[in-house]
Amino acid sequence: MAELTLDGVTKWFEDDGGRIVAVDDARVEIEDGEFLVLVGPSGCGKSTTLRMIAGLETVSDGDIRLGGRTITDEPPTTRDIAMVFQSYALYPHMTVRENMSFGLEESTDMPDDEIRSRVEETAAMMGIEDLLDRKPGELSGGQQQRVALGRAIVRDPEVFLMDEPLSNLDAKLRSQMRTELQRLQEDLGVTTVYVTHDQTEAMTMGDRIAILNDGKLQQVGTPLECYHEPRNVFVAGFIGEPSMNFFDVDLRNGSLVAEEFEYLLSDETLADVEGHDRLVLGIRPEDIELVGEGEGRHDFRTAVDVVEPMGDENNVYLTFADADRAVATDEETETFVATVSGLRSVESGQKVVARIPEEAIHVFDRETGEALHNRKLDRTEVPQPNI
Amino acid sequence: MSSPPASPNPDDHTRRERIEQTIRDADRTRVALYAILLGLVGFYLAPLEAGLMTAFKTTDAFNRTVPFLPPVADGFTFEPWEIAFSEMSNALVNSLLLAVPATVLSAGLGSIAAYGLTTIDWKYQTALVALFVAGIFIPYQAVLVPLSRLYAIVNTQELLSFLWGLPMMHEHYASIINLIVTHVAYGIPITFLLFRSYYQTLSDEMIEAARLDGASVFSIYRNIVLPLSRPIFAVTLIYQFTQIWNDLLFALVILPSGGGAAAPVTIALNSLTGGIVESFNTQMAGAFVAALPTLLVYVLFGEQFAKGVAGET
Amino acid sequence: MQRLRDVLRRLSPRRGADSGDRELRADGSEQTDRLRGSSELRSDGGVATAEETPTETGRWQSLLSSDFVQSIPFWLPPFLLMGFFVYGAIGWNLVISLTDFEGLLLPEYTVSEFDLEMYRRALSDPSFWTAAQNTLVLLVAFTAVCLLFGLLLAILVDQEIRFENTLRTIYLLPMSLSFVVTAKFWAWMYNPQIGMINVTLRQLGLDFLTLQWISNPDTKLAAVIFALIWQFSGYAMVVYLAGLRAIPTAHYEAAKVDGASTAKMYWRVILPQLRASTMSAAVVLMVFALKAFDFLYVMFGNNPGPAADILATMMFREAFGSNNWAYGSAIAIVLFGMALAVVAPYLYSEYRRGEL
Q: What is the pLDDT of residues A65-85, one digit of tens each?
A: 998 899 998 888 888 899 999
Predicted confidence (pLDDT) at residue C40 exceeds the cutoff of 60: no
**Of A373-377, B254-258, C124-128, highest mean pLDDT:** C124-128
At the topology level, CATH places domain B79-311 in MetI-like fold (1.10.3720)
Segment C64-74 shows an average pLDDT of: 77
C69 touches chain A (CB under 8 A): no
Q: How many CB atoms lie within 10 A of CB B156?
A: 17
- What residue ranges do the domains of chain B occupy? 10-75, 79-311
Residue C278 or residue C56, greater confidence = C278
Mean pLDDT of B259-278: 78
Sign of the torsion angle spanned by Cα atoms C232, C235, C240, C245: positive
Nearest CB partner across the interface for C291, out of B51, B140, B147: B140
The chain-wide mean pLDDT, for chain B, equals 84
Residue A358: Cβ-neighbour burial (10 angstroms; 0-12, 13-18, 19+) = middle
- What are the residue ranges of helices labelled H in B119-172? 125-134, 141-153, 156-159, 161-164
Find the mean pLDDT for residues C127-134.
93
* Least Cα separation, residue C193 to chain B (angstroms): 9
> Which CA distances in Å does B195 have to A47, A163, A357, B236?
29, 29, 67, 8
Distance CA A174, CA A190 (A): 21
List, in sequence order, the alpha helices (H) in C247-356: 249-257, 262-264, 275-290, 293-300, 311-316, 325-352
Distance CA A8, CA A29 (A): 11
**Alpha-carbon dihedral of residues B13, B19, B24, B26, nearest 10 degrees?**
-170
C62 touches chain A (CB under 8 A): yes
Q: Tell me if A12 sits within 8 A of A19, measured CB to CB.
A: yes
Give Cβ neighbours of residue A146 (< 8 Å, ≥ 6 apart). A126, A127, A128
- Cα–Cα dist C254/C248, whole Å: 10
**Residue A39: its pLDDT value, please?**
94
The mean per-residue pLDDT over the stretch A14-19 comes to 77
Beta-strand runs (E) in A183-288: 191-196, 208-213, 216-221, 245-252, 255-257, 262-264, 278-283
**A168 and B CB contact within 8 Å:** no
Tally B–C CB contacts below 8 A. 337
For residues C57-78, give the mean pLDDT.
Answer: 72
- pLDDT beyond 60 at C44: no
* Top-ranked range on mean pLDDT: pick from A22-31, A259-268, C16-25: A22-31
The C-alpha angle B265, B268, B269, rounded to 5 degrees, equals 85
CA C50 to chain centroid:
54
The pLDDT of residue C257: 80
Q: What's the distance, CA C33 to chain centroid?
A: 41
Closest CA to A46 of A236, A165, A194: A194
Residue B264, CA distances (Å) to A115, B117, B160 in order: 53, 34, 21
Nearest CB neighbour to C96, from listed B129, B145, B186: B145
Nearest-Å Rg of the Cα atoms of chain C is 30
Strand ranges (E), A222-261? 245-252, 255-257
d(CA A41, CA A195): 11
CB–CB of B232/B194 below 8 Å? Answer: yes
Average pLDDT value over all residues in chain A: 88
Whole-number Å distance between alpha carbons of B154 and B148 = 10
Stretch B54-61: mean pLDDT, rounded?
84
Sign of CA dihedral C347, C348, C354, C356: positive
What Rg, from alpha-carbon coordinates, does chain A have? Answer: 25
Rg for chain B (alpha carbons), in Å?
24
Q: Which residues contact C94 (CB under 8 A, 6 or more apart)?
A: C329, C333
Closest-CA distance, B161 to chain C, in angstroms, reads 23
Q: How confident is the model at residue B164 (pLDDT cuts 50, 70, 90)?
A: confident
Query: Which of B212, B214, B216 lies closest to A54 in CB terms?
Result: B212
For this complex, say whether ipTM is above 0.90. Answer: no
Residue A351 phi, psi dihedral angles, 5° rounding: -90, 130
From A134-143, B226-235, B271-280, the region with the lowest mean pLDDT: B271-280
Residues of chain C with pLDDT > 70, as a percent, come to 81
- Paired sense of beta strands A371-373 and A362-365, if any: antiparallel
pLDDT of residue B120: 64
Q: Tens of pLDDT along B93-122?
A: 999 999 999 999 999 999 999 999 886 666
pTM: predicted TM-score of the whole model, two decimal places: 0.82
pLDDT grade for C24, boundaries at 50, 70 and 90: very low
Q: Work out the number of other CB atoms within 10 angstroms of the CB of residue A245.
A: 20
Pick the more confident residue, C1 or C303: C303
Kindly list the residues from chain A whose CB atom is less than 8 angstroms away from the CB atom of residue B229. none
Nearest to C62 among A73, A106, A109 (CB): A73
Spell B183-220 as b/e; 16+ CB within 10 A means b.
bbbbbbbbbbbbbbebbeebbebbbbbbbbbbbbbbbb
The domain ranges of chain C are: 2-65, 128-300
Closest chain C residue to A110, measured at CA: C2
Partners of C61 on chain A (C-beta within 8 Å) are 73-74
Closest approach of B24 to chain C, Cα-based (Å): 12
pLDDT band at C303 (very low <50, low <70, confident <90, very high): confident
Secondary structure (DSSP) of A333-351: ---EEEEEETTS---TT-E
Is residue C22 scored above 60 in pLDDT?
no
What's the pLDDT score for residue C160? Answer: 81
Which is it for the CA torsion B51, B52, B55, B56, positive or negative? negative
- Residues C304 and C296 sit within 8 Å (Cβ to Cβ): yes
Q: What is the pLDDT of residue C53?
A: 40
Chain B interface mutation, best of C30, C65, C85, C238, highest count of B Cβ atoms under 10 Å: C85
- Sheet containing strand A289-291, edge to edge, reads A289-291, A351-355, A299-309, A313-320, A336-341
Query: For every residue of A139-176, which 3-state class applies, written as one string?
Result: CCHHHHHHHHHHHHHCCCCCEEEEECCCCCCCHHHHHH
Residue A53 has pLDDT above 90, yes or no: yes
Task: State the Cα angle at C107 between C106 and C108, rounded to 5°.
Answer: 115
pLDDT at C336: 93
> pLDDT at position C25, please?
36
Q: Which residues of A touch C59 (CB under 8 A)?
A: 73
Quickly state the pLDDT bin for B146 (edges 50, 70, 90). very high
Instruction: Say if residues C301 and C185 touch (Cβ distance below 8 Å).
Output: no
Q: What percent of chain C has pLDDT over 90?
A: 34
List beta partners, residue A10: A61
- Chain B environment of A76 (Cβ under 8 Å): 208, 211-212
Q: Tell me if C348 sits within 8 A of C112, measured CB to CB.
A: no
Q: What is the pLDDT of residue C77?
A: 95
Contact between residue C294 and residue C180 where contact means Cβ atoms under 8 Å apart: yes
Better pLDDT: B304 or C172: C172
* A74:C62 CB<8 A: yes
Predicted pLDDT at C272? 85
- Angle, helices C325-352 vs C89-98, to 10°: value is 140
Nearest CA distance, B104 vs chain C (angstrom): 14
- Among B58-67, B122-131, B186-195, top mean pLDDT goes to B186-195
In whole angstroms, give the CA distance from residue C229 to residue C220.
14
Look at residue B87 and tell me whether its pLDDT is greater than 90: no
CA distance A290 to A322: 16
More confidently predicted of C103 and A336: A336
Asked whether A288 and A356 are in contact (CB, 8 A), the reply is: yes
State the nearest Cα–Cα gap between C65 and chain A, in angstroms: 7
CA separation, residue A75 to residues B208, C48, C63, C167 (Å): 12, 20, 10, 53
Please name which of A148, A153, A136 lies closest in space to residue A93, comparing C-alpha atoms: A136
3-state secondary structure of A321: coil
Residues linked to residue A30 through DSSP beta bridges, in sequence order: A4
Domains and CATH numbers, chain A: 4-236 (3.40.50.300), 243-373 (2.40.50.140)
CB count within 10 Å of CB C253 equals: 14
pLDDT value at residue A98: 94
pLDDT at C21 over 90: no
Q: Which of B11-20, B174-183, B203-212, B250-259 comes out lowest in average pLDDT?
A: B11-20
> Is there a contact between C190 and C214 (Cβ–Cβ < 8 Å)?
yes
**C339/B137 CB distance under 8 A:** yes
| CATH of the domain spanning C128-300, picked from 1.10.1750.10, 1.10.3720.10, 1.20.120.80, 2.60.120.260 | 1.10.3720.10
CB interface of A with C, residues 87-106, below 8 Å = 106
CA distances from A134 to A92, A148, A165, A253, B114 (A): 10, 14, 21, 73, 30
Whether the predicted pLDDT of C19 surpasses 50: no
Facing residue for A89 by CB, picked from B208, B219, B228:
B208
- β strands within A200-242, DSSP E: 208-213, 216-221
Q: How many alpha carbons fall within 13 Å on the CB side of residue B134?
A: 25
Angle among Cα B103, B230, A152 to the nearest 5 degrees reads 140
Q: Give per-residue pLDDT as tens, A152-199.
A: 999 999 999 999 999 888 888 888 889 999 898 988 999 999 999 999
Q: Which pLDDT score, from 0 to 100, does residue B40 have?
A: 92
Q: Do residues B139 and C342 lie in contact, with contact meaning Cβ atoms separated by under 8 Å?
A: no
Return the H-helix or E-strand segment holding A22.
Answer: strand A18-30
